[in-house]
Amino acid sequence: MGLRLTNNEILKQEPDGTIRVKGSRITLDTLIALFKRGETLEVIRDGFPSLSLAQITQTLHWYLDNKASAEDYLEVRKVEADALRKQIESDPQNILLRKILQKRREQLNKS
């Protein structure tokens, strides 16, 4: 992953490359997705009560100040997530489980 954070006051980067808000498990990906969806700061804070309004604001400021590199990072993360989802969905055990759940859902809907 190309983006490397150093001496960042609000964000930290895990050894696997994941960027999180310092002192939390909340990822940059999550906050930025909500921001792009048009959620207000208050709605975001309500969804993540462990974060202060200042942490959210500082994260969004960092994103806007580093938009090109942040977008590159987010695109890589999306590609990785898509690949993992395809891997999970193609696992034979998961395919079987999905069929069982679908059948049960259909039975419940008939009741």
Residue among 41, 12, 6, 16 at smallest CA distance from 27: 12
Residue 47 lies in a domain: yes
pTM: 0.75
Name the domain count of the chain: 1
Q: Domain for residue 60, yes or no?
A: yes
Question: Per-residue confidence at 2, pLDDT binned at 50, 70, 90?
Answer: low
Quick check: is 87 in a domain? no
CATH number at residue 25: 1.10.10.10
**Average pLDDT, stretch 1-14?**
78
pLDDT tens-digit series, residues 31-63: 999 999 999 999 999 999 999 999 999 999 999
Q: Look at residues 54, 67, 66 and name the one whose alpha carbon lies nearest to residue 10.
A: 54
